Amino acid sequence: MSKNTRTVILLLAAAVLIALIPLFALKGAEFGGSDDAGSVMVEEIHGEYEPWFTPVLETALGGEIPGEVESLIFCVQTGIGVGVIAFFMGRFVERKKWMKLTGKEAEEGAPDAVH
Amino acid sequence: MPKTKKEKLLLKASIAFAAMFAVAPVSNAMHIMEGYLPAGYCVAWGVVCLPFLIAGFISLRNKTRENRRNLTLIAMSGAFIFVISSLKIPSVTGSCSHMTGTGLGAILFGPAAVSVLGIIVLIFQAVLLAHGGLTTLGANTFSMAIAGPLVSYGIYKLCEKTKVNRRVGVFLAACAGDLFTYCVTSVQLALAYPSEAGGVAASAVKFLGVFAPTQLPLAVIEGILTVVIVIGMETYAVPELRSIGFLSGKKEVY
């Protein structure tokens, strides 16, 4: 378990580093979306291009979604996901603790044998 | 595949749903922007996705019918896609992109099941975020929820066969699936916009040039995060993992 914890911490640290390094290495870069870079490329290849369909929400709003609201919705998406994962993970963790207490784990076959 | 009455109904419903999409302006590709694919391509990609979605639907149903507890892992795989695909991460090219998160589901439940989970996320983003799009949904589903997971699944199985360490296998699978998703997106765009000089191939290289360097570090992050959550599951959710056949050992009945 402690070996696992160490692995997890190292992996997470690596992930954070990979994400943050470009931010410091490329000061002043715009960090726009690469999806947008894709549309720029389409125009380069194809000449002026007019998208033939506007996103439903933009039609309803009569314009682009305000940046702050967009980040709100992105956060909602993250929140839903994290909530579900955290809920089940919490249950699993408690269950394992409980099983250990009642000695049920022995019948399970020791989970450590799996690794 | 057992065909019960209910299942037939579901199949029909999913076909009807798909047909609806085909009639309405259809074309959703993994984050190909709304309105950027000609209508013909939109419909074509949508149709290509259909069999996968239906197969996924049935496979998920069978999994939950087999053992209701499998739902927890299905929900977690779906939630993982939600989280991972909402994180926009700065990359070495000075632009941001996000990951797919489909590797986990593909490894646990197979590529068909992920197509259903993936399309949920894509619809969420297309409708609420104007990210990707309803017209490009078919193409986006194909690249993110079908092609990528297929590669992940294949690589994971290959690693299993060749007895590579499981965590390494998970990492490679998630990483490659993420990258392949963007390769497919490039090809999809190239098919719709062949360049005048070199045709589809030249165009594909150009689009790859936009996506690939940005995506490479992100694919590594996705691999890492997938390994982390798999470690968590291996530690705490052994009975569930056995029940879906991810870990060997006798299936427990709860």
How high is the mean pLDDT in each 10-residue block of chain B (254 residues)? 66 58 34 76 86 91 87 92 86 79 91 91 84 82 90 92 90 91 85 77 81 84 92 88 78 51
Task: State residue A82's pLDDT score.
Answer: 93
Residues of B in contact with A20 (CB under 8 A): 90
Task: State residue A23's pLDDT score.
Answer: 80
Q: Note whether A57 contacts B128, CB cutoff 8 Å.
A: yes
Task: State residue B186's pLDDT score.
Answer: 84
Task: State residue B28's pLDDT score.
Answer: 28
Q: Does A4 touch chain B (CB under 8 A)?
A: yes
Q: Is B252 part of a structural domain of the chain?
A: no
Q: How confident is the model at residue A105 (pLDDT cuts 50, 70, 90)?
A: low
Task: State residue B20's pLDDT score.
Answer: 46
Q: How close A101 comes to chain B (CA, Å)?
A: 15
Q: Is B196 part of a structural domain of the chain?
A: yes
Q: Is B77 part of a structural domain of the chain?
A: yes
Res A1 pLDDT > 80: no
Mean of all residue pLDDT scores within chain A = 77
Instruction: Quote the pTM value.
Output: 0.79
- Which residue range forms the structural domain that includes residue B13? 5-243
Count of structural domains within chain B: 1
Q: Does A43 touch chain B (CB under 8 A)?
A: no
Tell me the HSE value of A50 on the side-chain side, using a 13 A CA sphere. Answer: 1
Q: How close B133 comes to chain A (CA, Å)?
A: 6
Residue of A nearest to B198 (CA): A45
Domain of B228, CATH number, reads 1.10.1760.20
Residue B61 neighbours by CB under 8 Å, 6+ apart: B7, B10
Q: Does A7 touch chain B (CB under 8 A)?
A: yes
**Could you report the predicted ipTM of this complex, rounded to two decimals?**
0.74
Helix (H), strand (E) at residue B88: strand B88-90
Residue B233 neighbours by CB under 8 Å, 6+ apart: A92, B73, B76, B240, B241
DSSP structure class, residue B90:
E
Q: Which residue has the higher pLDDT, A70 or B145?
A: B145
Q: Is B193 part of a structural domain of the chain?
A: yes
Residues of B in contact with A29 (CB under 8 A): 90, 94-95
| A53, A95, A114 ranked by CB distance to B34: nearest | A53
Residue of B nearest to A115 (CA): B234
Q: Is B249 part of a structural domain of the chain?
A: no
